[in-house]
Amino acid sequence: MPLPYQITFRDLPASEAVEAKIRQQIEKLNRFYDHIISCRVIIEVLHKHHHQGRIYHVRIDLTVPGRELVINRHPSQHQSHENLYVAIRDAFAAAQRQLKSYSAIQINKTKVHEIPVHGRIISILPEYGYGFIETSEGNEVYFHQNSLLNCTLRDLQVGSEVRLR
């Protein structure tokens, strides 16, 4: 599904080439992290310097599940932002780093630990080397003497509680 986005130009005319570059960067972000809900990009000229030229500022607002990420790098720290395409590249690189960090946080928050399945031994056939366990969900599970840990078939009794791995 295409990612909804909005591109806003402030103090400079809209450009099809710049919009195409931004769309390309948005698609790249969406491939990197496919849970982005929306993306808003604002491009503005902050200063008009007589000797240096224009300084471009790119702000990106990303809405992701449970949060809004704002990429707002101040161009006075990065004089290379006299080139609009460099400013766009740097802003989207920063957005990708923030998404990577956010994704890592989300993975740790949603980490699921499996609960070991428990059951009860319902039959043991030592002459054949196997038996059956009934799980708490009501399923029957076959087990072989070679699958036992820390015990043998002789150590088991019908009705004993066991944990399956």
- Measured CA to CA in angstroms, residue 137 lies from 52, 86, 117, 118 at distances of 73, 59, 9, 9
Helix (H, G, I), strand (E, B) or coil at 152: coil
Tokens encoding 115: 């609960």
Q: Does domain 117-164 have CATH number 2.40.50.140?
A: yes
Residue located via tokens 């043998």: 152
Output the tens digit of pLDDT for each of the chain's 165 residues. Answer: 577 889 999 988 999 999 999 999 999 998 888 889 999 999 998 765 555 667 888 999 999 988 899 998 665 555 667 888 988 999 999 999 999 888 887 777 655 566 778 899 999 998 989 999 998 878 889 999 888 888 888 889 999 888 887
pLDDT at 54: 78
Question: Which residues neighbour 102 within 8 Å (Cβ) at sequence distance 6 or greater?
Answer: 33, 64, 67, 69
Decide: 40 and 64 in contact? Cβ < 8 Å: no
Residue 23, classified by CB atoms within 10 Å of its CB into exposed (0-12), middle (13-18) or buried (19+), is middle
CA dihedral 156, 162, 164, 165 (to 10 degrees): -90
Domain 5-109 CATH superfamily: Ribosome hibernation promotion factor-like (3.30.160.100)
Domain residue spans in the chain? 5-109, 117-164
